[in-house]
Amino acid sequence: MPWCPGRRTIEKGDCVHLEMTNAYGGYWNQLVRIIAVGADNPALTRFHEAAVMVTQRALASMKVGTKTADVVATMAKTSKECGFVLTAPLGHFVGLDLIEGRVAAESDVIFNPGIAAIIHPRVADSKGVNMLLWGQTYFMTEKGPVSMNRTDDLLHTV
């Protein structure tokens, strides 16, 4: 499983997946990122650019009353246009539970004001060997989704 720590030492050129999950007043929030270690990683850059584009287009498609299936269709189409395959998990709806339901084509959740969702599309290569998970929590308002995190979508090298 890609999110379990391994036993080997992290080396220059590796990628490290970071998932920060916290709760405040009983409500959950999550930030999912990946970093390059010691040097830029061209393969990671391609995955990152695709994941950010998938998220941006998904967010742009979220209007009050939008069905989850329509958002997922936008995500899948964008992923394909970028040369990747969209794979689960795509995210989850949150509130008092970290996972109140999955962001998936079969979900009957409608994006109306008050809905909170962690959107983290997972883009994979055609063989399903390499993937990237990137995202964060959004709260749906009358004007559309608002990020619950103050961060950027830059890919960082440390």
Contact 101, 107 (CB under 8 A): yes
What confidence score (pLDDT) does residue 1 get? 39
CB burial of 20-39 (b: ≥16 within 10 Å; e: otherwise) equals eeeeeeebbbbbbbbebeee
Average confidence (pLDDT) per 10 residues, the chain, 158 residues = 71 91 90 94 94 98 98 98 95 91 96 96 90 96 96 94
The domains located in the chain, with CATH, are: 16-147 (3.90.230.10)
**For the chain, what's the residue count?**
158
Specify the pTM. Answer: 0.91
Q: Residue written as tokens 């009983």?
A: 26
